[in-house]
Amino acid sequence: MDWQRLLVSYAVGFVLLNVLLGLMAYMTWFERRVLARMQHRVGPNRTGPFGLLQPIADGVKLLAKEDIVPANADRLVFLVAPLLSFALAPLGAAVIPFGETLHLFGLEIPLLVADINVAVLYVLALGSIGVYGIILGGYASGNRYSLLGALRSTAQVISYELVLGLSLVGVFILAGSLSLQDILREQQRALVIGSLTLPNWYILSQPLAFALFLIAAVAETNRAPFDLPEAETELVAGYFTEYSGFRFSFYFLAEYINMIVVSLLAATLFLGGIDGPFVDGVWWLALKALFFLFFYVWLRATLPRFRYDQLMGLAWKVLLPLALLNIGLTGLVRLWGIGAL
Amino acid sequence: MIDFSQPTPVILSEVRQLTPTRRELVLNMGPQHPSTHGVLRVRLTLEGETVIACDPVIGYLHRGVEKLGESHRYAQFVPWTDRTDYVAAPSNNLGYVLAVEKLCGLQAPERAQYWRMIMAELARLASHLVWLGTHALDIGALSVSLYTFRDRELILDIFEKFCGARLTTNMMEIGGFSREIPPDLPEMVREFCRYFPKAIRQYEDLLTENPIWLARTKGVGIIEPEVAINYGLTGACLRGSGVNYDVRKAMPYLLYDRVEFDVPLGTHGDVYDRYLVRIEEMRQSIRIIEQCLEQVPTDGPLMAYESQYVIPPHKNVMTTAEDMQRHFIWVIKGFSPPKGEVYHAVEHSKGELGYYIVSDGSPIPYRLRIRSPDFVNLQSLPYMAQGAMLADIVALIGTIDIVLGSVDR
């Protein structure tokens, strides 16, 4: 039966990958439309109804562009780096549960690609490797702006990776597991406080961790107000200044897929994932993730950009102590069983 | 005495470039860069992200405007002033025509003076809006730029209604205005004055108390009052440091002594103070415009036709022989102001804009010099950039508020 399960996993993974790529394309449309509305503009509305064909037009355009390699670039690294970024981005979605196990044609189809017992660590590790794409790309471009962007990115990811990881420790302590499916199951129970019945979502028991996770996730995906590696007004385009055509779009795709994966992760870890009123299902997950994606766009429309040293200061002087404090408090609560939830 | 046989002295960072230590990185920012406001080039020497030397290199937009002024007749030069600081064209027109009028000893009629004030203040608003939008965009606040450009459209609509052009307006002439004010223009300006304070509140909601904005602007690019004076800074760059100098108050021109307005002053002389000063200046401009609209006579001449230096009115050209001859001479040869030299300064949105004209009695200026505020203010960039971070450089370029057309001329 093992080969059967493997096959099912492959099939689910294939579907997921395609859905993710489609979502990513429409994420660009969504961002442009929402951003335009926030800025008194119209946004793309010429290609297809409501500009819905715009992502396809963009894709075709990018494919048709010349693939330029600068003369003083480190050729091999320059060509491979965007692929690295892009290839690693969707892998994070593999551990996110999209629903209860389906029973179809006598087959057991779990609606997640891989139930790893260290799922969250796996996602964090992917994030750390993904940054290599940025660093190598920036370094190999032979451009000083790219180099500075890559350096910023390294520093940023290292700092915020810590915060991201530590903010999740509280959740692990409560759930007693690193597997996303276990964390999800914990959250699907009802939380009864007196006459009040609430979902046992970790946003309620871990609000500080949620806030920290959200901030760190924005930084981790290089989005405004932490978009320093690609700070357009300082570093032209940061690490991908020299990239053109489809190699440029690989970075672009990676960024958006990362956003989607992080949103799915946040929804699963803190907002109960597929859990929701009426019927549990993937639609709740989608709705919650959409809320986070909207939040990303909203931030971009509203906030100025941090300065490099302030970004570091925020991570090390504010967020990290808070994350440690949160772990300590959660541990104490767990130890003394005050919130034996 | 400069010895021209010697080579020109090299600037600091060129020496640095010859002997680079391993920790330094020379970064060339511009002339093609998203946030150098045109074609400013800044050569930065970095140590990590900290700037240790900063050399602005200018001249990429040099068109020889001053020299052009010395080969054009007086009235022909007005359109060229538009093209120096193109985001506040009426203010440039104003500086030049006032200088020529001072040279000729003529004065525009009262009504024209009021309308000149209104247009100059609207130009200040338009310029400040471009500044605010681009400055905020440089620091990363994306939406503010679109809001400011949305509101700037309203000002450009007023300009268009008034003279047909939106950007390079060429609206003022020596002696006043040649065209009648459109009858619905005052209402249009009033409408704008009613609307605009709300828009300022909107920008302030997004920026003034935003923690990231504060972190990016407070304590950055401090200029002490003495340093500001020594650099010859004017405008918000000077007032942000707390020095009370506004040409409109210090040497009132037009009818600025008849309107009430305050000159906002900063206390710390940092980027944030200059931001606050400019925001307040916008409010004061609205105040000035409102007072002007109340005081301006509804009819009366707009051109000092009685002067011999002014083109005769078209009506007379068709009916009287002398005026037809004068008109012919004026158009073919231009007018010849008396011999002498004159300097006239106006408070431009960026600082003191002065026109210095030397006349040898011919219809063409012997020497024309523009004291453009941006050029002088830009000198303070290396001072402000000492020890700043790379990201601060864009904030500093933004806070000086330069338009390269005016820097290079």
pLDDT digits (tens, 9 = 90+) for B130-178: 999 888 888 888 888 889 998 999 999 999 988 888 888 888 888 888 8
Check residues A123 and A232 and name the one with the higher pLDDT.
A123
Q: Which residues pair with A102 in a beta bridge?
A: A109
Residue B357 in domain: yes
Cα of B200 vs its chain's centroid, Å: 20
- How many C-alpha atoms does A56 have within 13 Å on its Cβ side? 6
Residue environment code for A12-51, b if the CB has 16+ CB neighbours within 10 A, otherwise e: bbeebbeebeebbbebbbbbbbbbbebbeeebbeeeeeeb
Rounded to an integer, what distance in angstroms lies between the CA atom of residue B146 and that of residue A245? 28
The alpha-carbon gap from A232 to the nearest alpha carbon of chain B, in Å, equals 7
For residue B265, the domain's CATH number is: 1.10.645.10
Number of CB pairs, chain A paired with chain B, less than 8 A apart: 84
In chain B, residues with a C-beta closer than 8 Å to the C-beta of A300 are 142
Nearest by CB to B146, from A41, A228, A303: name it. Answer: A41
Lowest mean pLDDT among A242-251, B16-25, B285-294: B16-25
Top residue of A147, A303, A310, A312 to mutate, by most chain B CBs within 10 Å, is A303
> Is B254 inside any structural domain?
yes
Name every residue in A having a CB less than 8 A away from some CB of B: 35, 38-41, 144-145, 148, 152, 224-225, 227-228, 231-234, 236, 300-310
Q: Select from A263, A260, A259, A284 the least CA-distant residue to A272.
A: A284
Contacts of A233 in chain B (CB under 8 A): 34-35, 137-140, 394
Assigned domain for B6 exists: no
Which long-range contacts does B5-11 make (Cβ < 8 Å, 24+ apart)? B11/B55
Instruction: Assess if residue B323 is contained within a domain.
Output: no
Instruction: Using an 8 Å CB-CB cutoff, list chain A residues near B140.
Output: 224-225, 227, 231, 233, 303-306
Alpha carbons B89 and B24: distance in angstroms, whole number: 42
- ipTM, two decimals, is 0.79
Question: Which whole-number Å values give the CA distances from A240 to A80, A159, B325, in the listed order?
Answer: 13, 21, 67
Q: Is residue B38 part of a domain?
A: no
- Which residues, in sequence order, are CB contacts of B338 under 8 Å at separation 6+? B103, B104, B105, B359, B361
pLDDT tens digits for A125-184? 887 887 888 888 888 887 888 888 888 888 888 788 888 888 888 888 877 777 777 777
Q: Which of B370, B377, B379 is nearest to B351 (CA)?
A: B377
Q: Which residues of A touch B391 (CB under 8 A)?
A: 228, 231, 234, 305, 307-308
Q: Write out pLDDT tens, residues B221-234.
A: 888 888 888 888 88
Residues of B in contact with A148 (CB under 8 A): 27, 49, 390
pLDDT of residue B258: 87
Chain segment A64-105, per-residue pLDDT in tens: 888 888 888 888 888 888 888 888 888 877 777 776 666 666
Question: Cis ω on the peptide bond leading into residue B31 (within 30° of 0)?
Answer: yes
B352: which strand partners? Answer: B347
pLDDT of residue A191: 66
Residue ranges in A68-108 assigned as alpha helix (H): 75-88
Banded model confidence at residue A109, pLDDT cuts 50, 70, 90:
low
Residues facing residue B25 across a β-bridge: B46
Residue B129: the pLDDT is 92
pLDDT at B248 exceeding the cut of 50: yes
Predicted local distance difference test score (pLDDT) of residue B322: 84
Tell me which chain A residues have a C-beta less than 8 angstroms from the C-beta of B206. 302
Q: What is the per-residue pLDDT for B22?
A: 56
Q: Which residues of B touch A (CB under 8 A)?
A: 25, 27-28, 33-35, 49, 136-143, 146-147, 150, 206-207, 210, 212-213, 215-216, 389-394
Q: Is B31 within the bounds of a domain?
A: no
A126: nearest Cα among A294, A258, A250 = A258
The mean pLDDT of B339-346, rounded to a whole number, is 90
Nearest-angstrom CA–CA distance, B55 and B91: 29
Residue type, B45: T
Specify if B50 maps to a domain.
no
- Give the mean pLDDT of chain B: 85
Distance CA B9, CA B328 (A): 52
Q: For residue B196, give the nearest of B134, B106, B287, B99 by alpha carbon.
A: B287
Confidence of residue B286 (pLDDT cuts 50, 70, 90): very high
Residue A221, both tokens = 């995906």
Distance from CA of B48 to the nearest CA of A (A): 9
pLDDT at site B18: 46
The partner residues of B356 in beta bridges, in order of sequence, read B343, B369
Distance CA B283, CA A167 (A): 46
Beta strands at B25-29 and B41-47: parallel, antiparallel or unpaired: antiparallel
Q: What is the spatial distance between Cα B133 and Cα B145, in angstroms, rounded to a whole number? A: 4
Question: Using the beta-carbon criterion (under 8 Å), do A304 and B210 form an inter-chain contact?
Answer: yes
The pLDDT > 70 percentage for chain B reads 94
pLDDT in tens, A305-326: 888 888 888 888 888 888 888 8
Host domain of residue B219:
65-300+329-384+394-408
Residue with tokens 């470039």: B17
What is chain A's mean pLDDT, rounded?
80
User: Count of domains in chain B?
Assistant: 1
Dist. CA B77–CA B91, nearest whole Å: 14
pLDDT for residue B64 is more than 60: yes
What number of other Cβ atoms are within 10 A of residue B275's Cβ? 28
Place of tokens 């480190």: A74
Higher pLDDT, B218 or B13: B218
Q: Kindly write down the DSSP assignment for every residue of B384-399, as one continuous string.
A: HHTT-BHHHHHHHHHH
b/e code B59-86 from CB counts within 10 Å (16+ = b): ebbeeebbeebbebbbbebbebbbbbbb
For residues A57-64, give the mean pLDDT: 86
Tokens of A86: 């892009």
Residue in chain B closest to A237 (alpha carbons) equals B34
> CA–CA separation, A41 vs A34, rounded Å?
9
The DSSP result for A219-254, as a single string, is: HHTT-TTS-GGG-HHHHTTGGGTT--HHHHHHHHHH
Contact A200, A341 (CB under 8 A): yes
Q: What is the pLDDT of residue B356?
A: 92
Distance of CA A256 to the CA centre of its chain: 8
Among B34, B389, B393, select the one facing A309 at the smallest CB separation: B389
pLDDT at residue B16 tops 50 = no
Q: Which residue has the higher pLDDT, B125 or A115?
A: B125
